[in-house]
């Protein structure tokens, strides 16, 4: 059985560094932000608009799953959003994305948006 470990890296300039390489997350970020806001609209629009500043939704870090050979399998971007009263931030997670070359690429059966 393969051993999988999770590692986290900061998102900077719409990407992250892993093993000396830069990985582009722009496509994943664009897609995730749209889906996170859509989920908020659908499930709790009134509360969302009352509590959160939707313009502050931004990528914070990526959580990647790595096998025993340090090969990345997939990644999930973790986002932050500010409360309107500036008291705190809340996190939300994007979808699961497999890696394709140096880009996170969507997979049609691995979606997971959470609050």
Query: Which residue, among 96, 103, 79, 101, has the nearest Cα to 25 in the 3D structure?
Result: 103
- State the residue for tokens 């969302």: 48
Extract the tokens encoding 78: 């973790």
Extract the tokens encoding 15: 């990407």
Average pLDDT over residues 35-55: 90
Distance CA 106, CA 28 (A): 7
Partner residues linked to 23 by β-bridges = 16
* pTM to 2 decimal places: 0.87
Does residue 45 carry a pLDDT above 90?
Answer: no
**pLDDT tens-digit map of 1-34:** 568 899 999 999 999 998 899 999 999 999 999 9
3 state DSSP class of 54: helix
């Amino acid at each position: 059985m393969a051993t999988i470990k999770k590692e986290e890296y900061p998102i900077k300039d719409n990407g992250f560094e892993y093993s000396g390489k830069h990985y582009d997350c722009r496509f994943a970020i664009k897609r995730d932000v749209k889906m996170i806001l859509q989920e908020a609209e659908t499930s709790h629009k009134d509360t969302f608009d009352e509590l959160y500043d939707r313009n502050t939704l931004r990528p914070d870090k990526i959580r990647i799953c790595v096998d025993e050979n340090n090969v990345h399998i997939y990644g999930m971007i973790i986002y932050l959003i500010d409360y309107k009263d500036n008291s705190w931030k809340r996190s939300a997670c994007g979808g699961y994305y497999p890696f394709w070359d140096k880009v996170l690429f969507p997979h049609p059966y691995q979606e997971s948006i959470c609050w």
